[in-house]
């Protein structure tokens, strides 16, 4: 009897174990059902390139897909052209793309589950990857897309997430965003070719290295107290963190994937903080908050500022402001636009002195690294028409559409062929991404704990420039290092205390 | 003695006027600044000379109604008008009925209901926003202007006390006389009380109109599509470089409400004054 009971118990245990195993397999298949498809091996584990199993390749017919685009693409008319071209191409299938007609920053996590979100959305990689962590986004069969081979691996990586050892791609890179230097050639000193072009390469040294930019900023402000050289809101961590990266600092370890290793104070990052602190001295107190970020368009146009840095997608806004300014001076619309295009230059960031000293003469220069992002398309996990949505993404990332996007919006395409054709800034950005000078914003959700402590530090750093001599907090490199270490600790606490 | 009293009176009046002018300046200045900013030619706050714009033009108002690709202000304006007018009509109807019932009829649950509504009215309206959102998703009323009208109207009777106070001031003897003459309850309400209640109806209509006209939280919660935005939500979603459009939009939205106010102010004051007196 006892034996029978023991046998029954063993059988029950075995069955339970089997069921549990099935359960866990079922769970895995449920959680990875979005990832069925061709697999390829990667260093970190299995890379699934087939995307979600919902992408069967059979287009849903006679459907309308709602696309959330960014405001610039809508206001400049690009989005209208894109959906018109797509609708014409897919007219035979009855697939129609329309504007989702929502705020560009609307939250898919809130609206999607109730059926009010878009089918396709255009966002920065960090936003899309936060949605991906919440399973609001379908993994995309990237390798089957026409654009796959044309987009660099580093851009695809911005959209990759690993679950249970399997890597999924959750977005399609469209354009590279990274800080660019904007300046006006008509505000250069008249004698720049003789006095500010030591290497004789016909490009002013002022925009080639920060030491000359610093010197010219002082000279311009001294000549007229209402005018400034370089101006930028230093509290903006997106732009300021690049100075730390240039000297060996980093945000998260393991290629921005390990939140337990925060390295903004690592390497010689204190030199980057010192550069920022020196730049603050040639600006006014508006660099402490976001005033310069919002007034740079008009202040660059009216000649108060000589240069600033911001992302390339704002080129058209700067151009419009400068055109309006020239019109005010009496030029007709056509002439004003032509003159504005001639005088407004968007270029890569100047090089930094290896020593971090902006007053050093003949410094050894190093490349400026910068925080960047990759904006792209993703497909909502709440869409009823995944295949039609994928067709739209495929169409929107084609060579023609990426090139058109670049021409109309002035942005840098993530596609190599389109970047090459667009030339200029697009090519520069593409090269910088390939060279590793653009550090892509981490795609892990812990990045949300970076902004506030970083803003607090950079605000304090900017304020320090305006404190009386005896009250300054940052007087030497070790004090910058201490400040950066405190910031690292605050970010760490914010991440792990909240967990 | 008389001279001294006169001097004190003059001093008293002068101080009162100085204080009033100072206070009104404090309240008026931001409005004046916004109005002037809306006429700014440059369209940016950073080109101002001191507090005020350098040059003035109507360009911002023109852009508000012509440049509608991204920010469709005329549509937002019509949406706001639709919601405010709908809530005004339906809300006024419900408030007047509630107040009249509470004032004129004695029934068992009258007192508990009055107490309950009074307590419920003390809670801030946004407290139930999540519940409202979930309910509206179930009724499929997200992204529908009618959804907003229903919520505003349904919530309006909670503030019936002022109207009840007004109905309490109308002597019940008139109702009884009418009933002796054979009038029904409905006739007593429509033929006797309603014509006497013009001030409170105007007051109710005006307050029912102004609340949805300027509300932000509820439309922000329930309207996802840009073409359905009300003006308050639309203006809050403007880009940071669109200050001039924001100023012009804020000024223009005040126009209908100011006109309505000047037309109805007399009735409104009467309504408020009479509703405040317990009969």
Per-residue confidence of chain B (279 residues) as pLDDT tens digits? 667 778 889 999 999 999 999 999 999 998 888 898 899 887 777 767 777 888 888 988 998 999 888 889 999 999 999 999 999 999 999 999 999 999 999 888 899 999 998 888 888 877 888 889 889 989 989 999 999 999 999 988 888 888 999 899 888 898 899 999 999 999 999 998 988 888 889 889 988 998 899 899 999 999 989 999 999 999 998 887 788 889 999 999 988 888 888 887 777 666 666 655 544
Pairwise CA distance, residues B259 & A411, whole Å: 47
**Can you give the pLDDT at residue B197?**
87
Phi, psi dihedrals of residue B51, rounded to the nearest 5°: -90, -25
> Shortest Cα distance from A292 to chain B (angstroms)?
10
Distance CA A88, CA A66 (A): 16
Query: Between B47, B142, B241, which is nearest A114 by CB?
Result: B142
Q: B44 to chain A: which residues are within 8 Å by CB?
A: 295, 297-298
Q: Minimum mean pLDDT among A233-237, A298-302, B105-109, B258-262: which range?
A: B258-262
CB pairs < 8 Å spanning A and B: 38
Task: For residue A170, give Cα distances in angstroms to A145, A158, A167, A233, A303.
Answer: 13, 9, 10, 33, 43
DSSP-derived pairing of the beta strands A64-68 and A96-99: parallel
Flag if B240 and A294 touch (Cβ within 8 Å). Answer: yes
At A330, give phi and psi (nearest 5°).
115, -5
- What are the start and end residues of each CATH 3.40.190.10 domain in chain A? 60-170+372-434, 180-369+446-497
Rounded Cα distance between A319 and A17, Å, is: 67
Whose tokens are 């009010």? That residue is A116
CB contact under 8 A, A302 and B137: no
Predicted pLDDT of residue A111:
86
- Flag whether pLDDT at A13 surpasses 70: no
Residue B225 has phi, psi (to 5 degrees) of -90, 135
Q: What are the structure tokens assigned to B263, written together?
A: 């037309």
> SS3 for A251?
strand
| Mutation choice for B interface testing from A64, A76, A101, A300 by most B CBs within 10 A | A101
Q: How far is CA B262 from the centre of its chain?
A: 14
Q: Specify the pLDDT at position A162.
A: 82
Residue B42 pLDDT: 73
Q: Hey, which of A108-122, A217-231, B153-167 has the most confident mean pLDDT?
A: A217-231
User: Distance (Å) from the C-alpha of residue A365 to the closest C-alpha of chain B?
Assistant: 36
Determine the pLDDT at residue A46.
Answer: 47
pTM (predicted TM-score): 0.77
Nearest residue of A to residue B223 by CA position? Answer: A102
pLDDT over 90 percentage in chain A: 54
For residue A121, give the 3-state DSSP assignment.
strand
Name the residue in chain A with its Cα closest to that of B72. Answer: A101
pLDDT tens-place string over residues A156-186: 988 988 888 888 899 999 988 889 999 999 9
Confidence of residue A41 (pLDDT cuts 50, 70, 90): very low
User: Across-strand partners of A413?
Assistant: A175
Chain B residues lying within 8 Å of A114, measured CB to CB: 137, 142
Chain A residue at shortest CA distance from B229: A102
pLDDT band at A133 (very low <50, low <70, confident <90, very high): confident
Note the pLDDT of residue B272. 60
**Largest Cα–Cα separation, chain A:** 107
- Cβ within 8 Å, pair A71-B226: no
Instruction: Quickly name the fold that domain A180-369+446-497 has.
Output: D-Maltodextrin-Binding Protein; domain 2 (3.40.190)
Mean pLDDT of A315-327: 89
Determine the average pLDDT of the residues in A61-85: 92
Check: CB of residue A166 under 8 Å from CB of residue A44: no
* A462: Cβ contacts below 8 Å, ≥ 6 apart: A234, A235, A276, A280, A287, A288
Q: A302 and B47: CB-CB below 8 Å?
A: yes
pLDDT of residue B126: 76
Say yes or no to pLDDT of A233 above 90: yes
What topology does CATH give the domain A60-170+372-434?
A: D-Maltodextrin-Binding Protein; domain 2 (3.40.190)
**Average pLDDT of span A265-280:** 95
Query: Does the beta-carbon distance from B69 to A74 stay under 8 Å?
Result: yes
Q: Is ipTM over 0.90? A: no
The pLDDT of residue A493 is above 80? yes
**Cα separation of A115 and A382, whole Å?**
7
Q: How far is CA B272 from the centre of its chain?
A: 14
Whether residue A37 has pLDDT greater than 50: no
Confidence of residue A33 (pLDDT cuts 50, 70, 90): very low
* Neighbour-count burial for A489-498, b at 16+ CB within 10 Å, e otherwise: ebbbebbeee
* Pairwise CA distance, residues B29 & A129, whole Å: 46
Structure tokens at A192: 């720049």
Give me the torsion for CA of B130, B136, B138, B141, rounded to 10°: -150
- Go through the domains of chain B in sequence order and give each one's CATH number: 66-275 (1.10.3720.10)
Chain A contact set for B46 (CB, 8 A): 294-295, 298-299
Cα–Cα distance list, B108 to A238, B111, B120, B244 (Å): 66, 8, 20, 58
Of residues A101, A295, A297, nearest to B227 (C-beta) = A101
Beta bridge partners of A440: A372
For residue B196, give the H/E element and its range. helix B194-196
């Amino acid at each position: 009897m006892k034996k029978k009971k023991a046998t029954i118990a063993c059988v029950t245990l075995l069955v339970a174990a089997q069921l549990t195993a099935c359960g866990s397999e079922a769970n895995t298949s449920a959680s990875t059902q979005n990832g069925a498809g061709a697999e390829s091996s990667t260093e970190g584990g299995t890379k699934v390139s087939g995307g979600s199993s919902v992408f069967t390749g059979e287009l849903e017919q006679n459907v309308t897909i709602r696309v959330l685009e960014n405001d610039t693409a809508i206001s400049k008319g690009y989005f209208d052209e894109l959906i018109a071209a797509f609708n014409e191409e897919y007219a035979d299938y009855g697939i129609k793309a329309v504007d989702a007609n929502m705020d560009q920053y609307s939250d898919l996590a809130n609206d999607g589950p109730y059926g009010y979100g878009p089918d396709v959305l255009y966002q920065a990689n960090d936003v899309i990857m936060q949605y991906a962590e919440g399973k609001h986004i379908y993994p995309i069969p990237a390798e089957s897309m026409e654009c796959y081979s044309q987009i660099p691996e580093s851009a695809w990586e911005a959209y990759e997430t690993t679950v249970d050892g399997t890597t999924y791609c959750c977005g399609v890179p469209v354009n590279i965003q990274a800080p660019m230097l904007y300046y006006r050639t008509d505000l250069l000193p008249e004698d720049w070719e003789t006095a500010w072009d030591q290497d004789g390469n016909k490009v002013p040294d002022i925009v080639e290295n920060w030491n000359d930019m610093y010197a010219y900023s002082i000279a311009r402000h001294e000549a007229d107290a209402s005018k400034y050289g370089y101006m930028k809101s230093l509290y903006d961590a997106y732009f300021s963190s690049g100075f730390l990266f240039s000297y060996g600092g980093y945000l998260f370890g393991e290629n921005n994937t390990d939140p337990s290793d925060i390295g903004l104070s690592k390497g010689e990052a204190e030199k980057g903080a010192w550069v920022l602190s020196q730049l603050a001295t040639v600006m006014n107190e508006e660099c402490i908050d976001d005033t310069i970020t919002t007034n740079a368009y008009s202040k660059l146009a009216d000649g108060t500022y000589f240069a600033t840095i911001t992302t390339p997608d704002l080129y058209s806004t700067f151009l419009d402001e400068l055109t309006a300014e020239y019109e005010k001076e009496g030029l007709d619309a056509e002439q004003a636009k032509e003159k504005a295009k001639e005088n407004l230059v968007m270029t890569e960031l100047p090089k930094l002195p290896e020593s971090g000293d902006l007053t050093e003469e003949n410094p050894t220069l190093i490349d400026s690294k910068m925080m960047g992002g990759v904006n792209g398309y993703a497909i909502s996990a709440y869409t009823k028409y995944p295949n039609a949505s994928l067709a739209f993404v495929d169409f929107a990332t084609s060579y023609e559409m990426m090139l058109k996007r670049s021409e109309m919006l002035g942005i840098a395409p993530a596609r190599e062929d389109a970047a090459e054709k667009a030339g200029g800034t697009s090519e520069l950005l593409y090269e910088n991404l390939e060279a590793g000078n653009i550090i892509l914003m981490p795609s892990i959700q812990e990045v949300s704990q970076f902004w506030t402590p970083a803003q607090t530090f950079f605000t304090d750093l900017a304020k320090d420039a305006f404190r009386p001599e005896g009250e300054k907090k940052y007087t030497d490199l070790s004090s910058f290092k201490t400040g950066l270490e405190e910031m690292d600790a605050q970010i760490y606490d914010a991440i792990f205390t909240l967990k | 003695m008389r001279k001294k009293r006169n001097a004190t009176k003059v001093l008293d009046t002068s101080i009162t006027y100085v204080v009033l002018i100072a206070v009104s300046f404090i309240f008026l200045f931001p409005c004046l600044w916004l109005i002037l900013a809306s006429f700014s030619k440059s369209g940016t706050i950073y080109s101002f000379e001191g507090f005020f714009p350098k040059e003035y033009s109507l360009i911002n108002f023109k852009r508000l109604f012509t440049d509608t690709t991204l920010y469709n202000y005329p549509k937002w304006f019509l949406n706001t008008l639709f919601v405010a007018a709908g809530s005004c009509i339906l809300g006024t109807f419900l408030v007047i009925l509630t107040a009249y019932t509470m004032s004129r009829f004695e029934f068992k649950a009258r007192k508990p209901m009055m107490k309950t509504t009074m307590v419920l009215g003390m809670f801030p309206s946004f407290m139930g926003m999540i519940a409202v959102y979930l309910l509206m998703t179930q009724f499929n009323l997200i992204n529908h202007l009618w959804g907003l009208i229903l919520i505003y109207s349904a919530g309006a009777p909670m503030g019936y006390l002022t109207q009840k106070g007004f109905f309490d001031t109308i002597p019940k003897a008139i109702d009884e006389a009418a009933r002796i003459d054979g009038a029904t309850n409905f006739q007593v309400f429509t033929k006797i009380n309603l014509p006497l209640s013009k001030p409170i109806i105007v007051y109710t209509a005006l307050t029912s109109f102004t609340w949805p006209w300027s509300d932000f939280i509820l439309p922000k919660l329930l309207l996802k599509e840009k073409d359905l935005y009300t003006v308050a939500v639309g203006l809050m979603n403007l880009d940071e470089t669109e200050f001039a459009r924001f100023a012009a939009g804020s000024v223009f939205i005040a126009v209908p409400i100011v006109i309505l106010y000047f037309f109805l102010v007399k009735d409104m004051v009467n309504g408020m004054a009479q509703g405040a007196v317990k009969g």
